[in-house]
Structure 1
Amino acid sequence: MKQITFAPRNHQLTNINTWTPDSQWLAFDVRPSGASFTGETIERVNVETGAVEVIYRATQGAHVGVVTVHPRENKYVFIHGPENPDAAWYYDFHHRRGVIAYQGRVANLDAMDITAPYTPGALRGGSHVHVFSPNGEFVSFTYNDHVLHERDPAQDLRNVGVAAPWGPVMVSGQNPREYSGSHWCVLVSQTTSTPRPGSDEITRAYEEGWVGDHALAFIGDTLSVKGEKVPELFLVDLPREESGWKLAGETPLAGTESLMPAPPVGVTQRRLTFTQGRAYPGLVNAPRHWVRSNPQATEIAFLMRDERGVVQLWLIAAQGGEPRQLTHHATDIQSAFNWHPSGKWLGYVLENRIVCCDAHSGDVCFLTSEHGNTPSADAVIFSPDGRHIAWMEDVQGFRQLWVTETGR
C-alpha cells in the first residue's frame, strides 16, 4: 500500500465514484472534516505521480465539496454552497446545489425556485451527494426543502431525487437566491412526518444507490408497531422515457407551499426488507453506509447486524425476497463498502485493515497489514479497472489518501 497525498491538510473522498474513468486520478475535496463544509476547492491527484490539479475553485465566500466523477468522461459533480452567504442565507442542508464541471465549463445541475407558483423540474431547496448513474445520463441526490423548512423545520424531511438530462430548467429569479439549472430534477421518494406504526410509510429517505440505470435503492426510516425507528431497504423504479419524468400525479411535481415536491406519476416505492421481528432489526446507521447494487443490477448489498449483534454484509435480490447473510465475521464491519467492477468482490474495512470479500462465499482476503491509523469509515473505493482500491487514513493529524493493489 502507498500514501499518495502528503500536504498538511485534509483530503476527503466521497463514498463512491471518486476515480477518473482511466483509473489514473482520484478526485477529492479539502474540507477540514467530513462535517465541516468550509473547503474552497475541488481537486484531483494522480495515483502514480502524486501530481495534484485544481478542478474548481469557489469564489464569493462559497464553499464546495463531496465530488464524484462521471463513469465515462472527466466530468465532475459536487456540492456548491451559496455565494455571498449572510445571516439569512448560509450553507445548510436546504441551501446548497449540485454543480457540474466539464472541460473548463461549470453549470448548475439543479434549478432553485422558492417563489410560488414553483417551476416543474426545479427544486425548492438543497441537493447533496450527487452520483452519476452507471450510464452517466442521470444523477441521484438527497434533498432538503427550503420552503417547508421556513414553514416548519419538522416538515423538511430528507428525500431522494434524480436529475434527468431533459433541461435546461429556467427560473425567472424573482428571489436573488434563485437560479436555473441544466437538468430536470424531481423527487422519487415519498415521506411523511406521521407514519403509521407497522406500515411501509417512512419519515426519511437517504443513502441511495443506483440499481442499473433505471432504479434506485435507499434506506427509509419506518416506524415499528411499538413506535421505534427501524431503517429498512426500499427501491423505486424510474421512468425510461422523457415523458414519464414530466407527468405529475395527484400532487404537483414542484410541490406547494405546504407539500413537498412529488414523484412523477409512474414512480412508486416498494419495500424490500421486513426486519422488525429480528433480534436486531433494521439496517445499521453506524458505520454510515450507502446501499450498493452489483454492476449487474441483480443484487443489493447493505449492512445489518446478525443474531449476535455483529455488523455484517447482507445481499438481497433487486426484485426482493429473503436477504442472504454474506459475511460471518467475529467483529463488526467498520466502514462503508463498494463493489469491485466485476461484481465478484466487495471492499471495506475489517479489523482495522482493508479487505476484499468474495460476493458468493463471503470469504475475505486482507489487502493490507498494519496501518498507522485505522482507515476512515467513510469511503473504500475500487478503481474502474479493478486493479486498485483507495481509502483515507490520518497521518500526523491530517486525512491523507492511500491506495493498494487488489490483485483482481
Structure 2
Amino acid sequence: MKQVTFAPRHHQLTNIHTWTPDSQWLAFDVRPSGASFTGETIERVNVHTGVVEVIYRAPAGAHVGVVTVNPQTEKYVFIHGPENPDAQWHYDFHHRRGVVVENGVAENLDAMALTAPYTPGALRGGTHVHVFSPNGQLVSFTYNDHVLHERDPALDLRNVGVAAPYGPVVPEGQHPREYSGSHWCVLVSQTTPTPQPGSDEINRAYEEGWVGNHRLAFIGDTLSLTGEKVPELFIVDLPQTRAGWQQAGERPLAGTPDTLPAPPAGVVQRRLTFTHQRPYPGLATTVRHWVRANPQGTNIAFLMRDDKGIIQLWLISPDGGEPRQLTHNKRDIQSAFNWHPSGNGLGFVLEGRIAWCDAQTGDITFLTTDHENAPSADAVVFSPDGKFIAWMEDTNGFRQLWITETGR
C-alpha cells in the first residue's frame, strides 16, 4: 500500500474514471466531505512522484467537485456550482452544471434554459456526477429540474441524462442565470411522481453506468404492491446519430412548464430485474454504488442481498434474464465497486480491506491488509493499465488517497 497525498486537507475521489489515461495521475477535489460542496479547486496528483497540480480554480464564489477523466484523452469534467451565489440562487441539486477542462480551457457542458418555451438540447436544472462513455464521446449524468422544483419540490424527480457532442446550445431566453453549453443534452429516463404499485414505473432514476457506448443502465425506484420502495435495474438503448439525439418523441425534449424534459424518440427504458418476491427485494442501495458493466458490455454488476440478507455482487446480461449471484461472502460488501480493465475481476471493500473478486468464480483475494482506518466506501478505482487500484482512507484526520498494486 502506498499513500499518495499528504497535505492536511481532504482529497475526494469520484467513483469511476479518476485516473488519467496514461495511469500516471489521479484527479480529485478538495471538499471536506462528500456532502459538503465547498471545494474551490479540481486537482491531480502524480501517483509516483507525489507532485500535485491544480487543474481548475472556481471563480466568483463558486464551488466545484466530483471530477472524472475522459478515458481516451486528458479531458476533465466536474460539477460546477453557481458563480456569485445569493439567497435565491446558490448551490443545490437543481442549480449546478458540468464543466469540461481540456488544455487548461474550461467550458460548460450543459446549457441552462429557464425561459419558456424552453430550448431543445438545453436543460432547466442541475447536472451531477458526469461520466464519459468508454469511447469518450458521450457524458452521462443525473439531473434535477429547477422549473418543477419552483412549482413543487415533490415534482423535481431525479433522472438520468446524456450529453452528446452536437452543440453548442445557446438558450434564447433572458433569465440572468441562463448559460450556453458545448453539448446537446437530453434526459433518457422517464419518471412519474406516483408510480403504479407493482408496475415498471419509477419515481427516481440514479446511479447509472455505461454498457458499451450506446447503452446506459441505472437504478430505478419502483413500488411494491404494498407501496414499499423497491430499487430495480433498468437499461436504455441510446441514439447513434445526431438526428436520433435531436428527434423529439411524444413530448418535447426541452420539457414544458408542467413536464420534465423528455427522452428522444425511440429511447425507452427497459426493466432488467424483477425482485419484488425475493426475501430481500431490490438492489442494495444502503451501500451507495453505481451499476457497472464489464468492458466487453456483456455483464452488468450490481449489489443485492442474498437470501440470508448479506450484500453480494450479482451479474445480469444487458439483454435480460435471471441475475447470477457472483459472490458468496459471509459478510456484506462495503463499498462501490469497479471492473478491472481486463474484465477478469472487480475491486471493492470487504472486511475493511481492498478485495479482488474473480469475475468468473466470485473467489476473493485481498489486495491489502492492516489498514489503520477502513477504506472509504465511496470509490475503489482501477488504473487504466490495470496495474493499480486507488481508494480513499482517513489518515491523521484527513481523507487521503492511497494505491496498491493489483498484480494483474
> With structure 2 as the length reference, what TM-score do the two structures score?
1.00
Structure 2 Cα separation of the partners of residues 152 and 247 of structure 1: 29
Determine helix, strand or coil for the equivalent of 2:148.
Answer: helix
Structure 2 Cα separation of the partners of residues 172 and 240 of structure 1: 27
- 1:229-277 CA-to-partner distances (Å, cap 9, x unmatched) read 0000000000111101111111100000000000001100000000000
Structure 2 Cα separation of the partners of residues 151 and 394 of structure 1: 41
Amino acid at match of 2:29: D
Q: What's 1:367 paired with?
A: 367
Alpha-carbon offset, residue 171 of structure 1: 1.4
Structure 1 Cα separation of the partners of residues 297 and 275 of structure 2: 23
Structure 1 Cα separation of the partners of residues 287 and 154 of structure 2: 25
Determine helix, strand or coil for the equivalent of 1:381.
Answer: strand
Q: What's 2:302 paired with?
A: 302
Alpha-carbon offset, residue 173 of structure 1: 4.6
- 1:197-243 CA-to-partner distances (Å, cap 9, x unmatched) read 00000000000000000000000000001110000000000011110
Q: What's 2:180 paired with?
A: 180
Determine helix, strand or coil for the equivalent of 1:282.
Answer: coil
After superposition, residues 8-407 of structure 1 pair within 5 angstroms as 8-407=8-407
Structure 1 segments, 4+ long, off by >2 Å, are: none
* Contact 1:337/1:348 (<8 A) preserved: yes
Structure 2 Cα separation of the partners of residues 341 and 249 of structure 1: 36
- 1:60-89 CA-to-partner distances (Å, cap 9, x unmatched) read 000000000001111000000000000000
* Contact 1:110/1:163 (<8 A) preserved: yes
Determine helix, strand or coil for the equivalent of 1:14.
Answer: coil
Structure 2 Cα separation of the partners of residues 172 and 200 of structure 1: 37
Determine helix, strand or coil for the equivalent of 2:61.
Answer: coil
- 1:335-378 CA-to-partner distances (Å, cap 9, x unmatched) read 00000000000000000000110000000110001101000000
* Contact 1:354/1:367 (<8 A) preserved: yes
Determine helix, strand or coil for the equivalent of 2:377.
Answer: coil
- Unaligned runs of 5+ residues in structure 2 are none
Alpha-carbon offset, residue 104 of structure 1: 1.3
- 1:297-325 CA-to-partner distances (Å, cap 9, x unmatched) read 00000000000000000000111100000
Alpha-carbon offset, residue 172 of structure 1: 2.9
Determine helix, strand or coil for the equivalent of 2:130.
Answer: strand
* Contact 2:119/2:172 (<8 A) preserved: no
* Contact 2:116/2:173 (<8 A) preserved: no
Number of aligned pairs? 408
**What RMSD, in angstroms, separates the aligned Cα atoms of the two structures?**
0.5
> With structure 1 as the length reference, what TM-score do the two structures score?
1.00
Amino acid at match of 2:306: D
- 1:24-75 CA-to-partner distances (Å, cap 9, x unmatched) read 0000000010000000000000000000000000010000000000011110
Determine helix, strand or coil for the equivalent of 1:150.
Answer: helix
Determine helix, strand or coil for the equivalent of 1:378.
Answer: strand
Structure 2 Cα separation of the partners of residues 104 and 82 of structure 1: 20
Which deviates the most, 18-27 or 163-172? Answer: 163-172
Structure 2 Cα separation of the partners of residues 212 and 149 of structure 1: 33
Determine helix, strand or coil for the equivalent of 2:378.
Answer: coil
Structure 2 Cα separation of the partners of residues 156 and 273 of structure 1: 25
* Contact 1:347/1:381 (<8 A) preserved: yes
Amino acid at match of 1:216: L
Structure 1 Cα separation of the partners of residues 203 and 173 of structure 2: 31
Structure 2 Cα separation of the partners of residues 172 and 186 of structure 1: 17
Determine helix, strand or coil for the equivalent of 1:379.
Answer: strand
Structure 1 Cα separation of the partners of residues 381 and 312 of structure 2: 18
Amino acid at match of 1:377: A
Alpha-carbon offset, residue 18 of structure 1: 0.2
* Contact 1:173/1:179 (<8 A) preserved: no
Determine helix, strand or coil for the equivalent of 1:319.
Answer: coil
Structure 2 Cα separation of the partners of residues 172 and 392 of structure 1: 43
Amino acid at match of 1:207: E
Amino acid at match of 2:308: R
Structure 1 Cα separation of the partners of residues 156 and 77 of structure 2: 24
Amino acid at match of 2:36: S
Overall identity of the aligned pairs, in %: 77
Amino acid at match of 1:159: N
Amino acid at match of 1:135: N
Amino acid at match of 1:25: W
- 1:167-207 CA-to-partner distances (Å, cap 9, x unmatched) read 00011350110000000000000000011000000000000
